[in-house]
Structure 1
Amino acid sequence: MKNAAPKAIAVNKAVNDIIRNDRGRLMAGLVSRLRDFQLAEDALQDAAISALKHWGRSGIPDNPTAWLMKAAFNKGIDRIRKSDREGQKAKDLSLILEDTEAMHAPEDIPDERLRLIFTCCHPALEEKSRIALTLRTVCNLNTREIADAFLDTESTMGQRLSRSKSKIKAKGIGFAVPEPEQRAERLNTVLSTLYLIFTTGYVSGDIDTRNLCHEGMFLMRLLNQLQPHDAEVEGALALMLLTQSRRAARVSARGATVPISEQDHATWDADLLQEGRELLERAVQRRDPGSFQIKAAIADCHMETPEPDWMQMLLLYQSLWRFEPTPVVALNWAVVLAETGQTDVALNRLNDLKAELDDFQPWHAARARMLQTLNRPNEAAQAYAEAIMRAPTEADRLFLQDKVKRLQI
């Protein structure tokens, strides 16, 4: 009995590790076979509960991921069989068991995440719903995390996710990567989703061990292989690579955020930086401009030495506005405008965005810096306080608190 507790802890850790690290692959495989998002989620949860019991008795299997896949599929079949209306469907699905039983090693489980992403990004769904469903199903973000990314409430996002799953089931949307001529209508949402996966990990620092940066880059590389010679796919991948190349420099030794212009360039990953710049150059040469190429070019200009190329970035934001006339683009455009010395004009533009971005932390941080530059310390202090209160990470809070200490009030 004295060994029971350590064994239970080991089993619980093993199950949690697989769900955290391989949930996307497992869900992709289950959705492709069961053809139902909610059923796949429920079946995987049932299988995880069974694993805690069976592995506690018999030990962790040699191939725990394959065990969970097979068990979850069987749980899904059992759930369908309990419904008289779905009896024939269960009979049909049982024929697929042979394929599932053939899986002996984790690498033998097909990586169908890209198929799942294209399914989630079907044009029958709203773009916001497409991205949210992908983050939930493929990347294992919980409802609260997704709601935070969209500035929504958890209950509102939960309802959106539920409606999305129901709509896919009701419309019989197929689980497949569409043919090349059908990809265009989904591609931009797929790119936006993969980039949001990456940035979610980048901002959070992947502190919960889900390496979303790696996940986003892996899937984008996969998409680049599927869709070769596509300038926007290359631009999106270049943007990820350029951003990731400076990851080691983004936080100081004391844990505060370090702006790009103040980072130690020697700590940047030279290989990722070179790969990103070469990919961007290749994309631009295709002469088929798009928003991700422009964003990658902005990132590249921001990383110029000895200092960022603010004037070129100003022109690039003007081009980006034609593709994405959004408040966030307007905010970033104003920040660059201020860096060129037109701080008064930039602050006026920011103030015009108050109604749309008052709950958006970067708006308060940008406004605080502009007020500080214009020597309006009392207003700057108030804006910094709002930004600190909304700061998404401790690193950002420390950075902003350092700015407040330099105010001459």
Structure 2
Amino acid sequence: MSSDPWGRVDETGTVYVRTADGEQVVGSWAAGSPEEALAYFERKYEGLVVEIGLLEKRVQTTDLSAKDAQTAIDHLREQVDAHHAVGDLEALRARLDKLVATVEARREERKVQRAKQSDEARKAKEDLVVEAEQLAQSDQWRAAGERLRALVDTWKGLPRLDRKSDDELWHRFSHARSAFSKRRKGHFAQLDAQREEARKTKERLVSEAEALSGSTDWGPTAARYRELMAEWKAAGRAQREHEDDLWNRFRGAQDVFFAARSSVFAERDAEQSENLKLKEELAGEAEKILPVTDLKGARAAFRSINERWEAIGHVPRDARPKVEGRMHAVERAIQEAEEAEWRRTNPEARARAEGLTGQLQAAVDKLRAQIEQARAQGNNSKADKLERELEGRQALLDQALKGLQEFGG
């Protein structure tokens, strides 16, 4: 008979294990000595110790689910309870009980963690829904569209909630995306309609611009091109595939017209500059007539100069006032000389001047006689009054005599 602190083998070969409830039969052994029997069942015990140690490690260091851990614990507990090993079976039960508590704690911890993750996922999805609903009202079509696509990717990466909550939030999220898509389609449909209208308008403007490109009616045509450009800007943009081609045709027609006009204007400017030189020479020749000493000769010379002047043609607009002013000054000087000559030689005017002078002279002579008579009579106040009247008549007489001299008399 052999013994061990945790078991023994009786004379019949029956093996026992000691427990808190007393000895329990482990099995029978007939193949060898009692020591070999105990060693065999002790190795069974060591195997259980190893298995429990491995399970403890898995629970602590891996993501083994609580369900799988509990299944493994139950399996080991059945082996311990079967008493097919010799050793401290109570210690193994205690370790299994502790492992059950650990698994339960992990279960609660994961439950709390899942609840937290669920709350975070709910909050994240609610935030996505709110942002999507705000973006649904945006007119920033490209940026908002890209952001909504990014929100979908974010949504797919979040955990699912309970079916009801997840479906409700997804419905709002999907509705916001659909609303944005509908508004964007409507906007671009309207934009396409506007661009098509702009294309038709610009086709018409191009046709008119091309028709005008050969015009030589420079002023009105240039003004019409300015109006066409204003209408072009007001028409808005056509579709991209048409806009550049239409603009090139429109601008090309303008370039043809304005290049032709510039060429003509350049020739005209050169011609007018040459005309200016000629007219400046004639103005200088006219100025040599002054001062007028021979009226008849001056008139003839100016008439000859003016005939040549009229035959020359236009000068640059900004130079016109100065050069024409020089000619007008000479013309006015000749006219003033003519007026002076007319006044000097006009018989009627001379007769009127002589008559007025005679009347004034008679009045002056009469006043002088009256003054002498008043003085002789001692009536000085009357004489003084008559002298004041005489001063006025004498001034008029002097003026009349000066006028009469202009007639050479």
TM superposition score normalised by structure 1: 0.15
Indicate the structure (1 or 2) with the bigger Cα radius of gyration. 2
Structure having greater relative contact order (Cα 8 Å, sep ≥ 6): 1
Which of the pair is proportionally richer in strand? 2
TM superposition score normalised by structure 2: 0.15
